[in-house]
Amino acid sequence: MSETRVFLLPDLGEGLTEAELVSWHVAVGDSIEVDQPIAEVETAKSAVEVPSPYAGIVAELHGKPGETLDVGKPLISVTPISSGAGVSADDAVPAEPAQPAVVPAETELAEPKPANAEAEAYREEEKAGSGNVLIGYGTPGGHAAAKRTRLPKASVSVLEPAETRPADKAADDLTLLRTRVPGKLGAVISPLVRRMAREHGVDLGELHGSGESGLIMRRDVEKAISAPVVEPAETKPAALVKPVETKPAPVVEPAETKETQGRDARTGLAISSRTPVRGVRKVVAATMSRSRSEIPEATVWVDVDATGLMELREGMKAGGAAVPGLLAFIARFVTAGLKKYPELNTRIESAEDGSQEIVGFDGVNLGIAAQTDRGLVVPSVRSAEKLSARELDAEIRRLTDVAREGKATPTELGSGTFTLNNYGVFGVDGSAAIINHPEVAILGVGRIIDKPWVVNGELAVRKVTELTLTFDHRVCDGGTAAGFLRFVADAIENPTTLLADI
């Protein structure tokens, strides 16, 4: 019987050191395939499925749902199946008398392969595939349902993976980095496809896969080899891109609450529960604490007559056109304001000698604060200054949806340069928000309500909201912050004029 292999919890990106085990997709005794999803884990960034790099029988599950596991610790133990066991009659390949039996690997085209040297080389690369992938991620396609089977009594020799040359492995790893789909643990290219592309000089980074989640298949490489010219993929504006349909996020049980009969020494009251601070809540707590301790912040605010913006949207609705949400218009004004006042779209970096630099950016990644069941997260619209109000509206909705499903990628959650926070949806007028470190400013928008307002010397009822800007006093003074806030307020009050200029 083959030696049991232990798969360690991989680094799930962004240097995260732990993850909460949400659920197992397999059980002890199940037969699993290479790259089959075996468990769902939740990190401080998102919920992801972890694929197995090994095929065989599940020998042990190292953890229970709800437990927090450290990266690098055992996740699952798998006992490999000898190549003659667990294969259906349709899939089996007759073994030659003096040769070890080889189980044919599943190909993209689902065609049986002859038991020749090429087929054996393919099998060897497929066996080595997941072991070569970075941070434990596997290749897609291993989504077969788990099936229970008994370990075979007799063991048949299995071909070991062929040794990979260092240069080829380095090239494969580089290709993998360029072609892995963010947020999709399984969306990587199989070793066979990578080898075929390398031998024919095909740049996988330029291909658009036809497989699930954009996976580059063998047929995509063959098409690129046969085609003399590869036309660039058509790029559509963000507003016209239909959000990717995703499966509903699995129900996650509330954080484990430990009942206790103890009594609090300070208050004298009985302690009813203890809730561990972990996951997103742990990251939010750390970020907010660091922001408060490092950033000398100041806050300015202004009441704004939003009647003009509301009337503009009503007029667009009457014309039958698709109308962006109010937040999309405000986001458009914010990006224009940051172009005029770039000091608020920066970051402070400290050197080892204690010196500091203000780092500016050529572009705006606009963070949108979103409240989810997992806590407050801030996915960002990349290069938001290049998008129209309609395009911003589509991207904001998409990011909000994936964030609430726990499927936002680390890049989407960690690349912002300025944050827009719409806390008016909670029915409040204002808030001195905490800056999302390492950014240097955050703009909050309160609810829009009817208020008495003086218009042309007369009292009138207008739609009024409050804008609140919290900024890092190290990067600018009150004049810059007030100028930016006034720019956005004027744009809301006179949207038709300012939209024509920006």
Residues 6+ away with beta carbon under 8 Å from 3:
79, 80
Q: Looking at residue 191, what is its pLDDT?
A: 59
Residues 6+ away with beta carbon under 8 Å from 194:
172, 175, 176, 204
Instruction: Give the C-alpha distances (Å, rounded to integers) separating 54 from 134, 432, 445.
Output: 15, 51, 50
Residue 196 lies in a domain: yes
| 357 beta partners | 349
Helix then strand then coil, % of the chain, to nearest 5: 30, 20, 45
Half-sphere exposure of 45 (CA within 13 A, CB side): 20
Q: Is 293 exposed, middle or buried (0-12, 13-18, 19+ CB in 10 A)?
A: exposed
Regarding whether 452 and 309 lie in a shared domain, the answer is yes
Lowest mean pLDDT among 172-176, 356-360, 451-455: 172-176
Six token digits for residue 285: 């707590």
Q: What number of other Cβ atoms are within 10 A of residue 206's Cβ?
A: 12
Rg for the chain (alpha carbons), in Å? 28
CB 348 within 8 A of CB 440: yes
pLDDT tens digits, 371-402: 888 778 899 999 999 999 999 999 999 999 99
**Integer Cα distance of 149 and 86 in angstroms:** 8
Residue 502's nearest CA partner among 366, 412, 395, 385 is 385
Regarding whether 456 and 361 lie in a shared domain, the answer is yes
Residue 242 lies in a domain: no
Regarding whether 151 and 30 lie in a shared domain, the answer is yes
Structural domain ending residue among the three candidates 182, 198, 226 = 226
Residue 495's nearest CA partner among 277, 316, 236 is 316
Regarding whether 220 and 288 lie in a shared domain, the answer is no
Do the strands 418-422 and 441-445 form a parallel or antiparallel pair, or are they unpaired? parallel
Regarding whether 356 and 294 lie in a shared domain, the answer is yes
Active-site positions read 473
Regarding whether 452 and 315 lie in a shared domain, the answer is yes
Q: Looking at residue 50, what is its pLDDT?
A: 87
CA dihedral 472, 474, 480, 481 (to 10 degrees): 10
Regarding whether 212 and 294 lie in a shared domain, the answer is no
Q: Is 375 exposed, middle or buried (0-12, 13-18, 19+ CB in 10 A)?
A: middle
**Integer Cα distance of 288 and 295 in angstroms:** 10
Residues 6+ away with beta carbon under 8 Å from 249:
47, 405, 406, 407
Residue 239 lies in a domain: no
Q: Is the pLDDT of residue 420 over 70?
A: yes
Average pLDDT, the chain: 76
Structural domain ending residue among the three candidates 187, 208, 226 = 226
pLDDT tens digits, 459-479: 999 999 999 999 999 999 999
Residue 241 lies in a domain: no
Residue 238 lies in a domain: no
Six token digits for residue 136: 């434990």
CATH number at residue 437: 3.30.559.10
pLDDT, mean of residues 442-448: 96
Residue whose pair of structure tokens reads 């060897």 in the numeric block = 124
Per-residue confidence at 449, pLDDT binned at 50, 70, 90?
Answer: very high
Top mean-pLDDT range of 88-92, 251-255, 385-389: 385-389
Regarding whether 285 and 219 lie in a shared domain, the answer is no
Q: For 130-218, where are the E strands, in sequence order?
A: 147-148
Per-residue confidence at 189, pLDDT binned at 50, 70, 90?
Answer: low
CB 54 within 8 A of CB 39: no
**Integer Cα distance of 262 and 302 in angstroms:** 49
**Integer Cα distance of 100 and 109 in angstroms:** 25
**pTM to 2 decimal places:** 0.54
Q: What number of other Cβ atoms are within 10 A of residue 488's Cβ?
A: 24
**Integer Cα distance of 294 and 304 in angstroms:** 31
**Integer Cα distance of 498 and 303 in angstroms:** 19
Q: Is the pLDDT of residue 293 over 80?
A: yes
Per-residue confidence at 285, pLDDT binned at 50, 70, 90?
Answer: confident
Q: Is the pLDDT of residue 239 over 60?
A: no
Q: What are the b/e assignments for 128-160, b being 16+ CB within 10 Å?
A: bbbebbeebbbbbbbeeebeeeebbeeeeebbe
Number of domains in the chain: 2
With a pLDDT cut of 90, the percent of the chain lying above it is 37
Q: Looking at residue 275, what is its pLDDT?
A: 82
Per-residue confidence at 20, pLDDT binned at 50, 70, 90?
Answer: confident
Residue 129's nearest CA partner among 146, 141, 117, 113 is 141
Cis bond upstream, residue 228 (ω within 30): no
Estimate to the nearest angstrom the gap between the alpha carbon of 270 and the chain centroid: 41
Regarding whether 458 and 339 lie in a shared domain, the answer is yes
Q: Is the pLDDT of residue 33 over 70?
A: yes
Residue 170's φ and ψ, nearest 5 degrees, are -65, -40
Domain of 401 in residue numbering reads as 280-501
Residue 191's nearest CA partner among 146, 135, 138, 136 is 138
**Integer Cα distance of 436 and 284 in angstroms:** 9
Regarding whether 284 and 218 lie in a shared domain, the answer is no
Residue 268 lies in a domain: no
Regarding whether 454 and 314 lie in a shared domain, the answer is yes
pLDDT, mean of residues 202-220: 71
Per-residue confidence at 411, pLDDT binned at 50, 70, 90?
Answer: confident
CB 57 within 8 A of CB 79: yes
Q: Looking at residue 379, what is its pLDDT?
A: 93
Sign of the dihedral defined by the CA atoms of residues 12, 14, 19, 25, in that order: negative
Query: Angle at CA 284, nearest 5°, toward 351 and 489?
Result: 85
CB 107 within 8 A of CB 129: no
Per-residue confidence at 86, pLDDT binned at 50, 70, 90?
Answer: very low
Q: Is the pLDDT of residue 142 over 80?
A: no
**Integer Cα distance of 463 and 445 in angstroms:** 13
Cis bond upstream, residue 152 (ω within 30): no
Q: Is the pLDDT of residue 236 over 70?
A: no
Residue 31 one-letter amino acid: S
Residue 133 lies in a domain: yes
Residue 262 lies in a domain: no
Structural domain ending residue among the three candidates 187, 206, 226 = 226
Residue 444's φ and ψ, nearest 5 degrees, are -105, 145
**Integer Cα distance of 418 and 347 in angstroms:** 10
Regarding whether 430 and 368 lie in a shared domain, the answer is yes
Bigger pLDDT: 330 vs 245: 330
